[in-house]
Amino acid sequence: MEPIPLLRQLFAEAIAAADPERCLAAQLPSAPRGRTLVIGAGKAAASMAMALERVWPAPLVGLVVTRDGYGLPTRHIEVLEAGHPIPDERGERAARRMLSLLQGLQPDDLVLCLLSGGASALLSLPARGLTLADKRSITLALLRSGATIAEINCVRKHLSAIKGGRLALAAQPARVVSLIISDVPGDDLTVIASGPTVADPSTREQALAILERYRIEISSAVRNWLQHVDAETPKPGDARLAAVENRLIATPAQSLQAAAAAARAAGIEPLILGDAIEGEARDCGLSHAGIALSCAQRGQPVAPPCVLLSGGETTVTVRGAGRGGPNTEFLLGLALALRGQPDIWAIAGDTDGIDGTEDNAGAWIGPETLARAQAAGCDALAALAENDSYGLFAGLGDLVVTGPTRTNVSDFRAILIARQMG
């Protein structure tokens, strides 16, 4: 198989491994004696709701919210769409409706909470005294600052009336079981979707320190709230959350294993570098290039033909005025570091189908990428400096566009080294 079709197949296998149709049914609890209420949020919320309706053995009702374009037709669970990654009024209304649905539940009732990446922005209910405008401006500034997803979600939890375990508190005394698709490094349940059903070890003081570290301007209302004891989230050991179950149904590691199996079937030796890689996207491109060149030149840590696989959540500190996301910026950094090394190709994409805020999942590179860019009048170094990786790959026709995948297990990267240098 040709390099790029093979890499695209590996990406498709990684996405398919996180399809709720494959992974949800095996993690379901038994039906309750009382009612079953379904709530949820995230890029996979609609596909999770559809998969649940097909296998749940009892009546159910509920409401989930997903990002624009990611909805699906369901019979019993209402699906709403809202803004992402910047929260909007539709997400705020959806969160209020979810809290109202949780009122009056009984101990024999079951709340199934369907959570996946993106829920932090989609469940955008501000804490007391704060406004959606406060949350929008802070979220945008953090996304542009280079802050990690854990740092961003620490702030989100302490500015929210629903995150950081508060959603589970609102469901008492019903039983709560959360089915979760992980999109964060290390599958940290407190970070995924900002942990609406998970006790939160982070503190309001840490949230304020993050805002100060990245020099995020905040209003006096936000500062006053974070300095108030009521801004604190329920902590580990809180008896009110003792009966809550949080079950991971899909993870980045599982998707990397699926891609590795597909590579072996194609006669390519896979090496998984890790599923929790973080840092500046362009710097990750540089470090991955070093490993790829070692494989090509010395056959270590694995001899060609081989493919290096990795996942995680890289970030971009925006300094220029271009367009791009972490996956295309990773690839541009990788291509510049490889300097046209023969027989090395790569693909990188977000498994949710959206790289940052653009319309592509990612892109691909090959040995001729830099030469083709130069021939097209594009300066790759200038594009990187301007954070315009999208513009470069769009001009080459090398973007990877999947459309909505309706799942999300963070970023996927695969570097194919076809031959060892003689």
Distance between CA atoms of residues 412 and 283, nearest Å: 16
User: Checking phi first, is residue 118 left (phi over 0); if not, alpha (psi -120 to 50) or beta?
Assistant: left
CA–CA dist 16, 258 (Å, integer): 9
Low-confidence ranges of the chain (pLDDT < 70): 422
Q: Looking at 230, 250, 270, which one is the last position of a domain?
A: 250
**For 409, what's the count of Cα atoms within 13 Å in the CB-facing half-sphere?**
29
Q: Domain boundary residue among 221, 250, 279?
A: 250
**pLDDT value for 143:** 87
* Same-domain status, 108 and 38: yes
Report the C-alpha gap between 334 and 41 in whole angstroms: 34
Does 130 share its domain with 233? Answer: yes
- Structural domain ending residue among the three candidates 250, 270, 293: 250
Shared domain check, 263 and 198 = no
198 with 49, same domain: the answer is: yes
Tell me whether residue 25 is in a domain. Answer: no
CATH number at residue 60: 3.40.50.10180
18 belongs to a structural domain: no
22 part of a folded domain: no
Same domain, 208 and 69: yes
Note the Cα 114 to chain centre separation in Å: 15
User: Are both 245 and 264 inside the same structural domain?
Assistant: no
SS3 call for 125: coil
Q: 230 and 325: one domain?
A: no
| 17 falls within a domain | no
- The answer to whether 337 touches 283, Cβ cutoff 8 Å, is no
Neighbours of 295 (CB within 10 A): 25
Residue 128 inside a domain? The answer is: yes
Specify whether 233 is located in the same domain as 374.
no
Longest distance between any two alpha carbons in the chain, whole Å: 72
Answer yes or no: do 176 and 189 share one domain.
yes
What is d(CA 263, CA 11) in angstroms, rounded to the nearest whole number?
11
Give the span between the Cα atoms of 369 and 386, in whole angstroms: 18
Q: Residue 13: which H helix or E strand, with range?
A: helix 3-17
- Shared domain check, 170 and 285: no
Strand order in the sheet with 362-365: 269-280, 306-315, 411-417, 344-350, 362-365, 399-400
Instruction: List C-alpha distances in Å: 404 to 37, 47, 354.
Output: 26, 11, 8
Q: Say which CATH number the domain at 265 has.
A: 3.40.1480.10
Range of the domain at 227: 31-250
CB 117 within 8 A of CB 408: yes
Contact indicator for 24, 249 with CB cutoff of 8 Å: yes
Q: Which of 290, 364, 297, 288 is nearest to 327 (CA)?
A: 364
Torsion from C-alpha of 375, 381, 382, 387, nearest 10 degrees: 120
Residue 242 and residue 336 in one domain: no
- At residue 422, the pLDDT reads 65
Q: How far apart are the first and last CA of the chain?
A: 22
Same structural domain, 277 and 144: no
Domain contains 176: yes
Q: How many domains does the chain have?
A: 2
Strand partners, 176: 111
Quote the CA–CA distance of 313 and 191 in Å, as a whole number.
12
Is there a contact between 165 and 233 (Cβ–Cβ < 8 Å)? Answer: yes
Q: How far apart are CA 31 and CA 28, in angstroms?
A: 9
For residue 152, being part of any structural domain is answered with yes
Is 24 part of any domain?
no
